[in-house]
């Protein structure tokens, strides 16, 4: 996929001259220019790779960070296997299913599942988001506390529907979906992230195809993350939902995960 023909316009920049060779290689890999008019810059530097939205004052860059901040806090104090996502995915004592996260995004939910001991394959179709994920995983591997966690995460670039239809690796016991929908009512930060993600990777209009394909591949269940009050994805109804204050997890079991 050549992202240079897609909106928004993105160019590569370096935050430090030492990273010029790395940025040049990245520009070749992503088919992105290193100069010219752009809406975003993909910036490479000592702090890792980050996506900066131009013309937006006081807006933090978008980057993948598994070592600090909210993700680190959730790892330490999020509730372990008692979290909704863990219960929905069938994580319980003695059971750590192999999970395919077909809509990886910034990898936060995949990281939570990996932190609980699951092996997680992540699919991301946007080359830019995939690059941010790859960089975040690379940086996390040099941190002693989280290295073991991210080593359970494997990253794949491509269209999730096509990859699932031609899947020839170990069959995932659980497939996790978090489609992007415009109707999400979240914090300003999450709304901004969703807007950027929709510009880079689409608006979730293929969610029903994702669900149908996931149900044909997963050996045990499919889990779909939705805003708490949002309608379900078109297609079969979930067997049950696990609801929180703002989100819910719709569960489509095929057979028991208990072994």
**Tell me: the pLDDT tens digits for 165-175?**
999 999 999 99
Give the HSE-up count for residue 247: Cα atoms under 13 Å, Cβ half-sphere. Answer: 17
Residue 232 pLDDT class (50, 70, 90 cuts): confident
Instruction: Please give the C-alpha separations between residue 16 and each of 21, 56, 82, in angstroms, as whole numbers.
Output: 11, 22, 43
The pLDDT value recorded for residue 53 is: 86
Q: Which residues of the chain are in CATH 3.40.50.150 domains?
A: 69-253
For the segment(s) 69-253, the CATH number from 3.40.50.150, 3.40.630.30, 3.40.50.2300, 3.40.350.10 is: 3.40.50.150
Nearest to 88 by CA among 174, 150, 171, 204: 174
Is there a contact between 190 and 142 (Cβ–Cβ < 8 Å)?
no
CA angle 245/204/182 to nearest 5° reads: 55
Residue 3 above 50 pLDDT? no
Residue 57 pLDDT class (50, 70, 90 cuts): low
Instruction: Please give the C-alpha separations between residue 199 and each of 110, 128, 136, in angstroms, as whole numbers.
Output: 22, 11, 21
Residue 117 pLDDT class (50, 70, 90 cuts): very high
The pLDDT value recorded for residue 259 is: 58
The pLDDT value recorded for residue 184 is: 47
Rounded to two decimals, the pTM is 0.89
The 10s digit of each residue's pLDDT in 234-258 is 889 999 999 999 899 999 998 777 6
The 10s digit of each residue's pLDDT in 126-165 is 999 999 999 999 999 999 999 999 999 999 999 999 999 9
Euclidean distance between CA atoms 66 and 109, whole angstroms: 11
Nearest to 218 by CA among 105, 89, 57: 89
% pLDDT > 90, the chain: 59
The pLDDT value recorded for residue 58 is: 62
Mean pLDDT of 203-210: 79
């Amino acid at each position: 996929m050549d992202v240079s023909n897609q909106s928004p316009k993105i160019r590569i920049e370096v935050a430090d001259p030492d990273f010029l060779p790395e940025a040049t290689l990245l520009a070749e890999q992503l088919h992105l220019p290193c100069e010219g008019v752009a809406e975003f810059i993909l910036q490479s530097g000592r702090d890792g790779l980050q996506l900066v939205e131009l013309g937006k004052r006081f807006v933090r860059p978008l980057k993948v960070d598994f070592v600090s901040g909210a993700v680190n806090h959730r790892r330490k104090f999020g509730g372990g296997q008692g979290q909704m996502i863990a219960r929905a995915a069938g994580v319980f004592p003695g059971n750590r299913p192999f999970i395919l996260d077909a809509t990886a995004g910034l990898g936060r939910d995949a990281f939570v599942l990996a932190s609980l001991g699951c092996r997680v394959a992540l699919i991301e179709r946007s080359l830019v988001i995939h690059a941010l994920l790859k960089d975040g995983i690379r940086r996390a591997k040099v941190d002693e506390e989280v290295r073991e966690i991210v080593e359970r995460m494997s990253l794949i670039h491509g269209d999730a529907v096509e990859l699932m239809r031609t899947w020839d690796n170990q069959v995932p016991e659980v497939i996790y979906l978090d489609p992007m929908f415009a109707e999400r009512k979240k914090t300003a930060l999450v709304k901004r992230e969703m807007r950027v993600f929709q510009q880079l990777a689409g608006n979730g209009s293929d969610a029903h195809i994702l669900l149908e394909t996931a149900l044909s591949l997963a050996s045990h269940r499919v889990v779909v993350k939705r805003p708490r009050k949002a309608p379900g994805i078109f297609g079969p109804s979930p067997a049950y939902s696990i609801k929180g204050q703002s989100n819910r997890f719709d569960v489509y079991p095929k057979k028991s995960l208990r072994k």
